[in-house]
Amino acid sequence: MAGAHVWDIFCKVIDNFGDIGVCWRLAADLASRGHTVRLWADDVTALGWMAPSGCEGVRVLPWPQDGTPLDLEAAGFAQQPPDVLIEAFGCEIAPEFIAACASNTRAGGLKPVWVNLEYLSAEAYVERYHAMPSPVQSGPAAGWTKWFFYPGFTADTGGLLREPDLQARQQSFDRTGWLKSQGIAWGGEMLVSLFCYEPPALESLLAQFAAHGLQGKPVHLLVAAGRATSAVRALLGDENRLQPNKDGRKQLSISYLPLLEQTGFDHLLWASDLNFVRGEDSLVRALWAGKPFVWHIYPQHDDAHLAKLQAFLDMLQAPPSLRAFHAAWNGKTAPQTTADNPAASAAALLDDLPAWQAAALAARTRLMAQDDLSTRLLGFVAKKR
């Protein structure tokens, strides 16, 4: 492929596997466009369930954290020095790798384009800082330039990860077939996916579903493995206490899901009528799903996440009810209750689900009209190469 590059992406897994999830999607997307990618990570265990089949063109390599140097010879560095370096989320590329790049440049090789891929945000600073240079002051690469690359929601940012065939795959998705393949017995209930941390309003939401369902229908809750499953089980205890309605059906039934590969997680979002997501990668996938969704943003001790949440809701043009639900879900306000209905506020807000759907679809339409992150990144590299 003309113009194909060799990419080295470096990733440190902080927690919850969001970093490696984003890096894998980027690596796989670049490979699907004909590029060669080496993904260096300090913890690749999550890829065993996120991407069990791997991806042609992507090689996953260990990034030792015990002082052991990278095995550049085994990685084929000499035969394929990088054209692009991706420093994901400020992780600082291994110094021996930078030294090898500098040595290759001195030997007549081209200097790689060095990109610092930042976290996603809708805040105003993203447009100001996107594509800004950061001169390297010291070390073997002194005098080089690192470039900030900010994913975002406007034409003046780095865009969002979106595979070229995403719409086609979603349009051909067989909801009933996928649910059956997962062993989920579906009788027409409202399907709600739950991928969260431990939101303060979870107990209120479960009470609402158990007492009233959603939109006049029973709810089948599809709970993601990990912290979401632990949170639900801690609150519900014995699920047998969930009461059937007058038709003999439970207003709330629950399926606890296994760890899903990334394509499977997309299918979960496409299958559901309402999605609760968390972190960065699942937020973007919820946007592409085009269904009503609620975002549990990663909490920060100084409440900096609340400004980020507000900026996102502004971008989404979220209706007041969706803003209020996000405030309760993310702990900005306490869930309001009454003695006879412990989820009164949740019930009122969820009644506005059609407005949430309209906002999600409108946002997806606007964002689909923009170039995706890989396309913008490739264009940026072409200008700097």
Between strands 36-41 and 6-11, the pairing is: parallel
CA atoms of 183 and 282, how far apart (whole Å): 23
DSSP per-residue letters across 88-145: ETT----HHHHHHHHHHHHTTPPPPEEEEE-----STHHHHHTT-EEE--SSTTTT-E
Contact 105, 98 (CB under 8 A): no
Q: How far is CA 155 from CA 132, 287, 309, 382, in A?
A: 15, 17, 20, 18
Q: CATH top-level class for 6-160+371-384? A: alpha beta
pLDDT score at 2? 53
Query: 151: closest CA among 172, 129, 177, 179?
Result: 129
Give the Cα separation of 59 and 184 in Å (integer).
34
**pLDDT for the residue numbered 334:** 44
Per-residue pLDDT of the chain (385 residues; tens, 9 = 90+): 458 999 999 999 987 688 999 999 999 999 999 999 999 999 999 999 999 999 999 999 999 988 899 999 999 999 999 999 999 998 999 999 999 999 999 999 999 999 999 999 999 999 999 999 999 999 999 999 999 999 999 999 999 999 999 999 999 999 999 999 999 999 999 999 999 999 989 998 999 999 889 999 999 999 999 999 999 999 987 665 565 554 556 899 999 999 999 999 999 999 999 999 999 999 999 999 999 999 999 888 788 889 999 999 999 999 999 999 999 999 875 444 433 333 345 667 888 999 999 999 999 999 999 999 999 999 999 999 8
d(CA 111, CA 103): 10
CB 85 within 8 A of CB 112: yes
Rounded Cα gap, residues 275 and 364, in angstroms: 15
Quick one: three-class SS letters along 343-378? Answer: CHHHHHHHCCHHHHHHHHHHHHHHHHCCCCHHHHHH
pTM confidence score: 0.93
Domain map of the chain by residue range? 6-160+371-384, 166-368
Estimate the crossing angle of helix 281-289 against helix 262-271, to 10 degrees. Answer: 40
Q: 217: which strand partners? A: 214
Do 6-160+371-384 and 166-368 agree at the fold level?
yes
User: Is the four-CA dihedral 49, 297, 157, 139 of positive or negative sign?
Assistant: negative
DSSP string, 34-93: T-EEEEEES--TTHHHHSTT--TTEEEEE--SSSPPP-HHHHTTTTS--SEEEEETT---
Of the CA atoms within 13 Å of residue 212, those in its CB half-sphere come to: 18
Catalytic residues: 19, 280
Tell me the three state secondary structure of residue 218. coil
Q: What is the per-residue DSSP string for 323-345?
A: HHHHHHHTTSSPPP--SS-TTHH
Buried b (16+ CB within 10 A) or exposed e, 274-302: bbbbbbbbbbbbbbbbbbbbbbbbbeeee
CATH architecture of structural domain 166-368: 3-Layer(aba) Sandwich (3.40)
